[in-house]
Structure 1
């Protein structure tokens, strides 16, 4: 149980840093054509991440039979990773475009 709390704490801190990065990006570069293109491509990356991870979680649940607490924690961590993946995609796409 302690391991889960530590993981959730780390992801929350990373999420706070991610939200500050996203706020800065949207304020500085998100309003022009390039920013809109980057946001759209990053949203596609997040959609693919969400779709892939949901399939992996469901298949893993079929074989491993998570209890309710484990399944809730896995979904919470997965949900917290979405903005982090979005920010990483934006950072990568900023260098590309």
Structure 2
């Protein structure tokens, strides 16, 4: 696996564990994993049967995203993804 930054996960076992965690919590926060000094927060958008059909992502420079802001915006991104999913008929 190709490394994009010093924080890119290249170990398949570690990546598999992170993907498992992402599925369980229904969001992902990446800090400088793909682009240095950038934070991304993503949550899936699901259709009426629960299939992931898209995602919503917020991206910002790390200097604007301290830990409190990451937590705040993670809640906003997840809430928005769930609202959009409900519009597609996902009721869970």
Instruction: Please report the TM-score for the alignment, with normalisation by the length of structure 1.
Output: 0.34
Name the structure with the higher strand share: 2
Q: Which has the larger radius of gyration?
A: 1
Name the structure with the higher helix share: 1
Bigger relative contact order (CA 8 A; separation at least 6): 1
